[in-house]
Amino acid sequence: MTTLSPINSSSEEKSEEQVVNEQEHGDHRLFGLAAFLVADGMTFAGFFAAYLTFKAVNPLLPDAIYELELPLPTLNTVLLLVSSATFHRAGQALRKDEAKLCQRWLLFTAGLGLAFLASQMVEYFTLPFGLTDNLYASTFYALTGFHGLHVTLGAIMILIVWWQARQPGGRITSENPFPLEAAELYWHFVDGIWVILFIILYLL
């Protein structure tokens, strides 16, 4: 191991070895997360497909048809879209090494996420149907509930990232932005899913 073989002794080969080492120790975690989000997105795609098929081939009885109120879900959409933008600002602040600003944007994002959840709860409690009332009701709660679970996880993740960013000499800096970037990618994904869900569930 310690003796250099003749092939490797040229400077060209040595630099190649450095490249190999960099390659091996490169950070592919965001790539992995993106692949996972593709998988997660397919779960939603399955749910959407099920919902649309139910809607097309299983007409409900007239008394089960219910027009959803739009104001609250529209507010929810705005909350999530704004939170995507604020998270983006947090990432920008981190890259510029403005730690305080980054933390403030993170906290703001988490607040918007929690506001979304609260608003979703209000909607759940004011809806005139329950989980097992009919096929439409079940699918509505399955879709929004599965998405709400994602928002809950995301809000917890943001709060953890915020907590870590606050620690002095902390784990989240412009040199190690991975936890923040991962949470950001996940959060944009969850927001994107909501937009599709909003269109399919409330507007169609």
**Residues that bind another protein in the complex, under the rule CB under 8 A:** 1-8, 13, 16-17, 19-21, 23-26, 28-29, 31-32, 35-36, 38-47, 49-50, 53-54, 57-58, 60, 131-132, 134-135, 138-139, 142, 146
Residue among 17 and 69 whose Cβ is closer to another protein: 17
Between 90 and 193, name the residue whose CB sits nearer to another protein.
193
Cα distance between residue 18 and residue 72, in whole Å: 56
What the block records as the tokens of 96 is 């510029």
Burial of 51 (0-12, 13-18, 19+ CB in 10 A): buried
Query: Which of left, alpha, beta for 169 (phi over 0: left; psi -120 to 50: alpha)?
Result: left
**Two tokens at 168?**
């002095």
* CB nearer to another protein: pick between 33 and 102: 33
Residue whose entry in the numeric block shows the structure tokens 């080969």: 13
| Residue whose tokens read 């699918």 | 139
What is the closest distance, in whole angstroms, from the C-beta atom of residue 19 to another protein in the complex? 5
- Choice between 39 and 204, CB closer to another protein: 39
| Dihedral pair phi/psi, residue 126, rounded to 5° | -95, -10
Q: How far is the CB of 66 from another protein (least distance, A)?
A: 15
In angstroms, what is the minimal distance from the CB of 111 to another protein?
A: 30
Q: Which is nearer to another protein, 41 or 111 (CB)?
A: 41
Q: Would you say the C-alpha torsion 90, 93, 94, 98 has a positive or negative sign?
A: negative
Report yes or no: 73 and 198 within 8 Å, Cβ to Cβ. Answer: yes
Name which of 34 and 115 has its Cβ closer to another protein. Answer: 34
- Residues 161, 172 contacting (CB under 8 angstroms): yes
Rounded least distance, CB 193 to another protein, Å? 13
Token pair of 143, please? 């879709």
Using DSSP, state whether 62 is helix, strand or coil: helix
- Give min distance, CB of 6 to another protein, in A: 7
Q: Min. distance of Cβ 20 from another protein in angstroms?
A: 6
